[in-house]
């Protein structure tokens, strides 16, 4: 809604130093429905995150649900 780009930032620890990674700016796109907009834009962000995660997959962790309410919108979810 704000019309601002998203930038992903992460770090990789090489044993003695942290390297900071910054994605290109990701502009969010509009689509006919809010549902399609959320899914397609989330997929774009996740593609950028995947590139970062693949560089050091053992350093990646999400100890809790980031968007707990979003799970109810997933196909096959049980409410």
10 Cβ neighbours under 8 A, 6+ residues apart: 20, 21, 49, 52, 53
pLDDT at 79: 56
| Mean pLDDT computed over every residue of the chain | 87
What dihedral do alpha carbons 25, 1, 54, 16 form, nearest 10°? 70
Coil, helix or strand at residue 34:
helix
pLDDT at 65: 72
**Percent of the chain scored above 90 by pLDDT?**
67
**Taking 90 as the threshold, does the pLDDT of residue 60 lie above it?**
no
pLDDT in tens, 21-38: 999 999 999 999 989 999
Residue 76 has pLDDT above 60, yes or no: yes
Instruction: Tell me the helix, strand and coil percentages in the chain, rounded to 5.
Output: 40, 15, 45
What pTM does this model have?
Answer: 0.69
Alpha-carbon span 30 to 18, nearest angstrom: 36
pLDDT value at residue 70: 74
């Amino acid at each position: 809604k704000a019309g601002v780009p998203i930038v992903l930032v992460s770090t990789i620890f090489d044993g003695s130093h942290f390297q900071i990674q910054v994605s290109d700016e990701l502009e969010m796109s509009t689509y006919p429905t809010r549902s399609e907009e959320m899914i397609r834009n989330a997929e774009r962000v996740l593609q950028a995150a995947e590139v970062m995660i693949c560089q050091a997959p053992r350093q990646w962790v999400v100890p809790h649900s980031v968007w707990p309410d979003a799970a109810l919108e997933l196909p096959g979810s049980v409410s």
